[in-house]
Amino acid sequence: MRMDINKISTALENMLNKYEIPETKIIGGNEGSLIIEHKGKKFIFSLCDRNFPNKPEGTPVPLYFWRANRRLNEMKNVLLTGNVKDVVGMRARAITPRDGFWNVDRLIVMVVDLVKFFFDEKIVTVFSTKMDNNYLNAIFCTEKGIRISAEIGEIPQGSIPSFMFEIIGRNGVVTNLPVDAQVSQHSIYVSGDGNVKTYTDTDFELFGLSQPEIDCVRFIMSVCSGKDSFEALQKDKSYINDVVIAIINSGEHEEKVKVTFSEGGNKNA
């Protein structure tokens, strides 16, 4: 799946106009990033790689588009409402063929970010296997001791992607995968002539966009409308980078690594 920046730009522009987001306009973009002028400043929303680029033409903003994903937000709501509570563990699987949205670096960033997104806790220790074929397995532990097992990486082209998050609380489990199923379901299946076509339309307002494109638009909307702050995103980017460094170190040295935080204290936590 390629990241169609024109589709995203058009949809975003419509949304900015419809919801009258002040002092915000799209001024450019290319595959992987979108340049937005917001209150007189330029921000470059970019898909995140391990080494996030510092571009001179504006302030880089990590495009954590998964944070706008409706299903992941519903999972978080299940935790916030206490329907599933006293979380002790999570199984995370993020495996997909490399495409315009995903490579192993972005998958790692997403999983690390989602731990904080769900639990509001930082990862403090990491054990990871060496990366091999752009794939790794890892176990993370958060500040309060939630354990996360993670399967992260690129799989051969043509393979079925799997984004599975299963959060285990003392009173129950919340997951984005149906019980007794191995792959995510779609909303529509059309079959004939030996072919099966699937459709998963989840957003009427952004009808026709793919799920990651929808999530990108909604994430940028959320930031530009002030629901998420640019400053917090910078801090998150720094934190995630620290965890990613720990993952790489752990894999290379085959040992459990404590995350060294580069800002905000907790050094050598």
Partner 1 sequence: MRRINVAISSLTHAHVRKYYSTLFTNPKINWVAVSCEDENISNHFKTLGYNVPVYKTLDEMLKTHPEIDAVVCASDNSKHLEEFKTCCKYGKHILSMKIPSFDLDEYDRMIELVNRAGIICQVELELHYNPVVSRMMKLIQEGAVGEIVSFNATNITLSPVWAFPWQGKPELSYGKKMKLKENDNRFRGGALSDHPHIFDLVRWATSSEYRYVYAEAGHNIRTDLCEEDLVYVIGEMNNGTKFILDPSWSRLEERLKIPGPGWEVYPKRMEVNFVIIGTKGVLMADAFGPNVYFNGGPNNRYTVQYTYFDEWIGMMDEFYSCIVEGKQPKINLEWHRGTIEAMQNCYRSILEEQPVFFGK
Judged by the rule CB under 8 A, the positions of this chain that interact with partner 1 are 88-89, 91, 93, 95, 127, 129-130, 132-133, 135-139, 141, 145-147, 149, 151, 153, 155-156, 158-160, 162, 168-173, 179-180, 182-183, 254-256
- Measured CA to CA, the distance from residue 253 to residue 251 in angstroms comes to 6
Find all residues with CB under 8 Å of 60, minimum gap 6, and list them.
43, 44, 46, 52, 53, 54
Nearer to partner 1, 88 or 190 (CB): 88
Nearer to partner 1, 29 or 169 (CB): 169
Nearer to partner 1, 53 or 82 (CB): 82
Q: Minimum Å distance from CB 9 to partner 1?
A: 34
Nearer to partner 1, 172 or 264 (CB): 172
- Measured CA to CA, the distance from residue 29 to residue 24 in angstroms comes to 15
Nearer to partner 1, 205 or 255 (CB): 255
Q: Minimum Å distance from CB 131 to partner 1?
A: 10
Q: Minimum Å distance from CB 256 to partner 1?
A: 6
Find all residues with CB under 8 Å of 172, minimum gap 6, and list them.
83, 84
- Exposure pattern of 202-223 as b/e (b: 16+ CB <10 Å)? ebeebeebbbbbbbbbbbbbeb
Q: Which two structure tokens, joined as six digits, stand for 130?
A: 């060496």
Q: How many CB atoms lie within 10 A of CB 60?
A: 19
Q: Which residue has the tokens 């790692």?
A: 108
% helix / strand / coil in the chain, to the nearest 5? 30, 30, 40
| Among the listed residues 150, 179, 185, 176, the one whose alpha carbon sits nearest the alpha carbon of residue 78 | 176
Q: Minimum Å distance from CB 125 to partner 1?
A: 9
Q: Minimum Å distance from CB 149 to partner 1?
A: 4
Nearer to partner 1, 175 or 260 (CB): 175
Q: Minimum Å distance from CB 172 to partner 1?
A: 7
Q: How many CB atoms lie within 10 A of CB 150?
A: 24
Q: Minimum Å distance from CB 170 to partner 1?
A: 5
Nearer to partner 1, 129 or 202 (CB): 129
- DSSP assignment of 156-190 equals -TTSPPEEEEEEEESS-EEESS-TT-SS---SEEE
